[in-house]
Amino acid sequence: MKEEKQPDGISVHTGFPNPATDTSLRSLDLNQLLIQHSASTYFFRVRGDQWQNDGVFDGDIAIVDRSLDPRKNDTVIWWDEHQDSFAISPYRSMPAGATLWGVISSTIHQFRKINHE
Amino acid sequence: MSKVFALIDCNNFFVSCERLFRPDLETKPVVVLSSGDGCAVARSNEAKALGVPMGAPVFKHRELFEKHHIVKFSANFELYGDISKRITALLATITPRIEIYSVDESFLDLTELPIQDYEAWGRKVRAAIMKDIGIPVSIGVAGSKTLAKLAAEIAKQHTGYRGAFSFIDLAEHRREAALGSMRVEEIWGVGRRLAPKLRSSGISNALALSRMLPRHAQQLMGVHGRQMVSELNGTACLSFTPEHAPAKSILRSRTFGEDTSQVHVLEAAVATLGARAAFSLRKDELLARRIGLFTNTNRNKPGYQRWVREIKLNTPTNDSGYIISTLVDELDEFVSSAQHYHQLGVFLYDLVPQSELQTDLLGYVDTAHHDRAQARMQALDQVNAKWGRGKLYYAAERLSDRWQPKHQIRSPRFVSKWDELPEARIV
């Protein structure tokens, strides 16, 4: 960027225009990455540490999109009526007769929690 | 071109929202109670079948609740509001011509849409809302809003219709059977006042009302009655207003967590409710010409009393500070430490658009003062928009929180608080 000295001492910037003022450029948005259908997306808190080796930890947040149709390799949330609680498992090991609640599209693990208060 | 409207009506909406995160309650009797946990404001079908009346105060039906293990929830309005917005968002993908009638009912104008079979369309929409959002709805389609509402009610009552019923192109004998099955009390616009009037004229169901001569309907019920008869015959008379209609009046009221005799507790309630009401006013870019407050003792205890005060303002306003101080002054004039106050509300009405601030003829309107207030409110709202609702507040709002309703049996705020998310176990 050049700065030209004007006779009366006022400096004028005549360099490359700031691309950030072009509204067609958007900053990265995590919602866009993680949420395909906002109306059908709900969040759950993951409980249990059996899947640590797969990178899913107790306390992680599961993003659940109810509009997705489950496929063989999906991980899903269903209602476990014997335990009276929601359960997470691969779709293929969901017990027959259990009610599917939704398909998990991602989980979020925070190494450092942001303090919101 | 004749019109086509659909009504999307959520079944026992508040109960359905609670069941979304409590599938174990799917077939159990459930009620949702009003703020202050006084009365049943939503009932599951099972609770209705057990004879829990709408608006039933819990203390009057304690035995019924205990005998049948009826599950009670305090209203969780953050949850219901969020789910309602999701349904609207889904409906908006069908058509932008939506009229949000209430938190659980929306009209769609389908006139321009290329739909062949309205009941099949309705069942598809119903299935999508059930799967994507998790809420059961009933859908009615007809040539008028009144008839669409009746169609949704028919769809809800007769499971054979699988959640959708349409009056469009319906065979005459089926139309007559459907209208004949609906009592006049179930028709939109027939209130508690009109129903006995109709019945004493020998009109007991929707079919009989639809056959009334428009002239007679007008004699009996005024223009409203004439319109109702046309609407029941599938001719749209009521307007469809997709835009957000600005409020005609704003009311913010609460039943206290515990009755109070303390002036500062009442003042805190006035200030908090006044600030919230003024905020809604500014959101709609309105000013109030009249403001007021009411408070009362417990209706169910002896010596019930109610006080209402209203003030006409020289200059219309939406200034929280001015509204709060005016109402607190008003309160202080009649409040007595000998009374046990149970409920309090603040209302703003006679609303005018901000752009229409007119000087009164004698020139009492102080525009310089008005402009300063506007700047102050803008700053207040900007801070709260950026840092969260209630970050900047009037000191009077925090004199006490003892007036706040108790939500002892409210479900977690599953969709609006990160630390209240539903939990799921890895199995």
Q: Does B25 touch chain A (CB under 8 A)?
A: no
Residue type at position B400? S
User: Shortest Cα distance from B256 to chain A (angstroms)?
Assistant: 27
Q: Does A45 touch chain B (CB under 8 A)?
A: yes
Q: Mutation target for A interface from B27, B132, B135, B137: give the one with most A CBs within 10 A.
A: B132
| Number of domains into which chain B is organized | 3
Residue B245, pLDDT > 80, answer no
Q: Which of A61, A66, A81 lies at the smallest CB-CB distance from B132?
A: A66
Phi-psi label, residue B163: left if phi above 0, alpha if psi -120 to 50, beta otherwise: left
Same domain, B20 and B119: yes
Residue B166, pLDDT > 80, answer yes
- The 10s digit of each residue's pLDDT in B374-426 is 889 989 998 888 887 778 888 888 888 777 776 668 899 999 999 999 999 99
Nearest to B323 by CA among B364, B359, B271: B271
- CA of A81: which chain B residue's CA is closest? B24
**Residue B339 belongs to some domain of the structure:** yes
What are B305's two structure tokens?
Answer: 């009393």
Instruction: Please report which confidence band the pLDDT of residue B15 belongs to, taking 50, 70 and 90 as the band edges.
Output: very high
Nearest to B139 by CA among B120, B127, B155: B155
**Yes or no, beta carbons of A40 and B425 under 8 Å apart:** no
Residue-level pLDDT at B175? 95
Residue-level pLDDT at A82? 92
**Quick check: B7 and B125 in contact, CB under 8 A?**
no
What are B103's two structure tokens?
Answer: 């938190």
Which residues of chain A from 70 to 109 reach within 8 Å of chain B, CB to CB?
77, 79-81, 83-89, 99, 101
| Number of domains into which chain A is organized | 1
Q: φ, ψ for residue B365 (rounded to 5)?
A: -70, 125
Element holding A102 (H helix, E strand): strand A99-108
What are B254's two structure tokens?
Answer: 């609460």
Residue-level pLDDT at B192? 81
CATH number at residue B353: 3.30.1490.100
- The 10s digit of each residue's pLDDT in B408-422 is 688 999 999 999 999
ipTM: 0.81
Q: Does A46 touch chain B (CB under 8 A)?
A: yes
Same domain, B230 and B276: no
CATH number at residue B58: 3.30.70.270
Element holding B138 (H helix, E strand): strand B137-142
Residue-level pLDDT at A1? 43
How is residue B399 annotated by DSSP?
S
**Residue B342 belongs to some domain of the structure:** yes
Q: Which residues of B touch A66 (CB under 8 A)?
A: 131-134
Work out the mean pLDDT of chain B and round it to a whole number. 90
Domain that holds residue B27: 1-168
**Quick check: B298 and B269 in contact, CB under 8 A?**
no
- The 10s digit of each residue's pLDDT in B337-355 is 899 999 999 999 888 888 7
- The 10s digit of each residue's pLDDT in B20-79 is 999 999 999 999 998 665 789 999 999 999 999 888 888 888 899 999 999 999 999 899
Measure CA of the first residue to CA of the last residue in chain B; give whole Å.
Answer: 58
Residue B362, pLDDT > 60, answer no
**DSSP secondary structure of B92-103:** HTT-S-EEEEET
3-class state of residue B185 by DSSP: helix
Measure CA of the first residue to CA of the last residue in chain A; give whole Å.
Answer: 42
Residue B242, pLDDT > 90, answer no
- CA of A104: which chain B residue's CA is closest? B424
User: Shortest Cα distance from B135 to chain A (angstroms)?
Assistant: 11
CATH number at residue A60: 2.10.109.10
How is residue A36 annotated by DSSP?
S
Same domain, B189 and B263: no
Same domain, B269 and B363: yes
- CA of A77: which chain B residue's CA is closest? B424
Same domain, B277 and B149: no
* Residues 6+ away with beta carbon under 8 Å from B408: B37, B74
Q: Does B409 touch chain A (CB under 8 A)?
A: no
CATH number at residue B201: 1.10.150.20
**Yes or no, beta carbons of A40 and B427 under 8 Å apart:** no
Residue B359, pLDDT > 60, answer no
Give the whole-angstrom CA distance, residue B282 versus residue B239.
27
**Quick check: B410 and B78 in contact, CB under 8 A?**
no
Domain that holds residue A54: 28-108
- The 10s digit of each residue's pLDDT in A42-57 is 999 999 999 999 999 9
**Residue A20 belongs to some domain of the structure:** no
Residue-level pLDDT at A2? 45
Say how many CA atoms lie within 13 Å of A91 toward its Cβ: 15
User: Shortest Cα distance from B146 to chain A (angstroms)?
Assistant: 29
- CA of A116: which chain B residue's CA is closest? B418
User: Shortest Cα distance from B417 to chain A (angstroms)?
Assistant: 10
Give the whole-angstrom CA distance, residue B41 versus residue B31.
7
**Residue B425 belongs to some domain of the structure:** no
What are B32's two structure tokens?
Answer: 């949702």
User: Shortest Cα distance from B120 to chain A (angstroms)?
Assistant: 20
Same domain, B178 and B218: yes
**Yes or no, beta carbons of A116 and B418 under 8 Å apart:** yes
**What is the radius of gyration, based on Cα positions, of chain B?**
24
**Residue B415 belongs to some domain of the structure:** no
Question: Quick one: average pLDDT of B252-258?
Answer: 85
